Amino acid sequence: MAEPHFDDMPVTPVPPTPSPTPDAMAPTAPRSAAPSVPFVGGDTAKQRDLAADSQEAGSALTTNQGLKISDDQNSLRAGPRGPTLMEDFHLREKITHFDHERIPERVVHARGAAAHGVFQVYEPLTDLTTATLFQDPAKETPVFVRFSTVAGSRGSADTVRDVRGFAVKFYTEEGVWDLVGNNMPVFFIQDAVKFPDLIHAVKPEPHNEIPQAQSAHDTFWDFVSLTPESAHMLMWVMSDRAIPRSYATMEGFGVHTFRLVNGQGKARFVKFHWKPLKGVFSQVWDEAQKTAGKDPDFHRRPGSCARPAPGKPRPGAGCPPAVPARAADGWG
C-alpha cells in the first residue's frame, strides 16, 4: 500500500495558548525553571544534590511575586505583529533580572575554583592551642577551600604563569576561621600602600585591555624594576612554582601570623603552611601555554579536592592538609 502523501496526512491542531484562568492568578510555590521530570534520587552525592533541587512535575513557573506565568516565550503585543507592550510586567521582570545577573568579579584573585572538604589534625596540638579543631585527631572540621590565580579576570585560563591563592574557611564550633595564603612564601611589596599600584601594573593595560592574565608587559616590569623589594618574589614567579600541575600539587604559605594560646595561657606566634601529600609538581612553560589554549579549565576540572562521595576515600590523597609550622619557642 502506497505511503500516504504528506498533504493527505491529518493535521493535529496546535492547542491555543491557554488564557490565564482565575486560579492562574493565585500565588504558588517558588518557581522552578520549568516543570521537570521528578527525580527519583540515588545514592551518589551528585544524585542527592540533583534530588534536592528537583521539583514535582506540574508545578508552575512564577514571577518573583509568585504569580503563575502562562507564557514565557511570547511577550505581550498590541495585535499579532504589533509592538511589545510595557504592560508586560513578566517581560520587564525577566529582562531586568537578566541584566543584573553578573556578580562583579574580585578585584584580584577573580579566577578560582573551590571545593568542600574536611580537616582533621594528625596529632593533638594542646601544647599550642585550645582551639577545638586542633584537639582530637578523630574530629572532622568541615572546610571550604578556594584556589585562585591573581591577575587574570574571572574568565581567564587556569594554567597561566601567576601566583596561586589559597583561601580556606574552617567551620569550627567556635566560629568560622579564615586562613589565606599563596603558593609562594614571599610577596612583591613590603608595604600595603603599594598594593593598588602593583595590581594596576600587572592588570591588562588600560588603553587596550592587553594582556589577559599575564605579567609579560611594560607596566608590570616598569613597576617591579623600580621596586627592588620585589626581586625575591620575581624569582618565584619566574620559576615553575608559578605554573603548578594542579591545585593538589602545590605548597601553600599562610599570609597571616596567628597568636595561638594554650590551656596554660602560653601564647606563641604561628604561621600555617600547606604541604601537598602528592608532592610539588609543575608543568613546563610550553605545556602550560598549550594547556591554557586547549583547556582553560584544566585546574578546576579534576575537582581532585572535591568532597568525597559516600564510601569513597577521604580526600587525603592529593589534598594538601594544613600543618602548623611550629614557631621558634621563645616568641611568647
* 291 near ligand HEM, judged by CB under 6 A: no
Which span (27-35, 83-91, 102-110, 289-297) binds ligand HEM, by CB under 6 A?
A: 102-110
Rule CB under 6 A: choose which of 181, 276, 315, 320 binds ligand HEM: 181
Q: Looking at 108, 121, 201, 243, which residue binds ligand HEM (CB under 6 A)?
A: 108
Name the burial class of residue 145, with classes exposed (0-12), middle (13-18) and buried (19+) by CB atoms within 10 angstroms of its CB.
Answer: buried
Cα gap 160→278, rounded to integer Å: 21
Contact 327, 273 (CB under 8 A): no
CA 257, 261, 265, 268 torsion: positive or negative? negative
User: Quick check: is 273 catalytic?
Assistant: no
- The active-site residue, picked from 5, 64, 116, 182, is 182
Is residue 252 at the binding interface for ligand HEM, with CB under 6 A as the rule?
no
For ligand HEM, give the closer residue by CB, 31 or 109.
Answer: 109
- Cα–Cα distance, 224 to 188 (Å, whole number): 8
Q: Does 165 bind ligand HEM (CB under 6 A)?
A: yes
Q: Does 324 bind ligand HEM (CB under 6 A)?
A: no
Count Cβ atoms below 10 Å from residue 212 Cβ, excluding itself: 14
Q: Is 156 in the site for ligand HEM (CB under 6 A)?
A: no
List, in sequence order, every residue forming a beta bridge with 180; answer none if it has no partner: 167
> Least Å distance between CB 168 and ligand HEM?
9
Q: How many CA atoms lie within 13 A of 239 on its CB side?
A: 12
# residues contacting ligand HEM (CB under 6 A) = 17
Task: Give 179: exposed, middle or buried? Use CB within 10 Å, 0-12, 13-18, 19+.
Answer: buried
Tell me the window of 85-93, 161-169, 261-269, 302-310 that interacts with ligand HEM (CB under 6 A): 161-169
- Closest-by-Cβ residue to ligand HEM is 165
250 touches ligand HEM (CB under 6 A) = no
148 binds ligand HEM (CB under 6 A): yes
**Among candidates 108, 179, 203, 186, which has minimal Cα distance to 148?**
108
Respond yes or no: is residue 116 known to be catalytic.
no
Nearest to 199, CA basis, from 128, 150, 240? 150
Q: Which of 24, 50, 167, 306 binds ligand HEM (CB under 6 A)?
A: 167
DSSP 251: -
Give the per-residue contact string, 186-225, with ligand HEM (x = CB under 6 A; - = no): -x----x--x------------------------------
**Nearer CB in complex with ligand HEM: 94/194:** 194
Give CA–CA dist 284/234, Å, rounded: 17
Catalytic residues: 109, 182
**Binding stretches for ligand HEM (CB under 6 A):** 106-109, 112, 146, 148, 165-167, 180-182, 187, 192, 195, 255
